[in-house]
Amino acid sequence: MTKIVLVGAGSLQFGTGMLGDIFQSNSLTGAEIILHDINEDAALRTLDVAKRFVDAHDLSFTLSATTDLKSALQGATFVVISIEVGDRFALWDLDWKVPQQYGFTQVYGENGGPGGLFHSLRIIPPILDICQQVVDICPDATVFNYSNPMSRICTTVHRAFPELKFVGMCHEIASLERHLAPLLGVERSEIMYRAGGLNHFSVMTEVSYTKDGSDAYPDVREKAEAYFGNMPGYSEILQMTRKTGQTIETEGWMDIDMSAIDTVRPWSDRWLFALVLEKFGALPITYDSHFGEYIQWAHDCSDHRGILDFYTYYRNFLGTTEPVIEPVLKERVVPIMEALLGAGEYEEAAVNIPNKGFIANLPEWICVEVPATINEKGIHGIAVDVPVGVRGLLTNQIGVHDMTAEAILNKSRDLVVQALLVDPVVTKSKGVSELVDHMIAEQSPWLDYLAGG
């Protein structure tokens, strides 16, 4: 019997979303699902929602909740991790604002730059603890990670546990896929595309028309301004929500209804996006808030209003919306589970795995986001031809990821300082040590392991 352990299932958004995906799968019918969380009340709350849904729809799943990860992992086939530590948004605010107070500009504070480093320093140690238990209890299980900062988490985990089947999953690829068909004026089935890079720092590498195999990238470049230049962004979404009191589900798999929005700022959320497309000839798969975290010159050409409005909307939406289970596929992990169980081979658009030559100029140990062939023999990455200029941007992250992993695995405050000093987003040295000491003190107990040096 297939056994799926959801770690962090006390989060209703993650728990209900993942359960909805599982419940719509015929291949996973009859699976045992364990909801694990360190917060027992939160885990039981998700369990109650899940049981009521299963009973109402007469589904064949076995459900339970526990705070005991060791017992949950016994015999696990799949483990899905989506955790945060502490007060997510309060700590995120520190990641973003405190470095700026010390003079380090950053467009966001989640995955790249100083904010991404401190986020990594907090969240990777508990994920390493989870992975150690998987290695000890169910070493054959496939582990899927949804937590951020994705590429730093995956890189560090694979350095610590090279034999672990650990895969990073992110729905951001849908930010590309949902737009290609309307941009090109065809059905989704009429397009084949691939993308590659680092998580949240990836570009479309190829796109073609399936009817004749012809290259569609010239059409994308030609039509991008008319399409993306007039596309509503989070400023428009936030303004509409404040005006009407209605929210828009922006985390869905594909279709997002923004028909109620009638006024749009040019290239909303996509000023940096537009510049990368113009100068590098490559279409980013995501917005300025994500892509700009990795680039030292992004601060002067990003849509900061859009970024701030995105953060406000995201925070408010999560805080006010009551998640419900919908048996509709929204994430990408369930089709991978099905293929690994023998349901048939298919090409997955984006997985985060060690490079192994999939992207030129990057070392094998860094985790990249690339397409992959999935079948019962495993997950097999596909090489992509990232444009040479974008490869240059990606290589700037090699030292950052290397030093992040080393700082965490060696529990070294001095290596944290070095991790900042090799980051291209950090353009000055004065204040680096003071910033590190400030954050270690401010983010206790999660960074206490670094206090010894």
DSSP letters for 32-45: EEEEE-S-HHHHHH
158 annotated active-site: no
| 164 close to 134: Cβ distance less than 8 angstroms | yes
Give me the residues paired with residue 346 across strands: 374
| Residue from 158, 171, 380, 401 carrying the catalytic annotation | 171
Q: How far apart are CA 157 and CA 113, in angstroms?
A: 20
- Give the 3-state secondary structure of residue 362: coil
CA separation, residue 376 to residues 339, 379, 403, 420 (Å): 6, 8, 35, 41
**The dihedral sign for the CA sequence 9, 12, 17, 22:** positive
Element (H, E) at 71: helix 69-73
Asked if residue 97 lies in contact with residue 115, where contact means CB atoms within 8 angstroms, the answer is: no
Distance CA 246, CA 238 (A): 10
Nearest Cα to 10, choosing from 51, 53, 52, 45?
Answer: 45
Please tell me the distance from the alpha carbon of residue 415 to that of residue 406, in angstroms, as a whole number: 7
d(CA 170, CA 352): 8
Kindly list the catalytic residues.
171
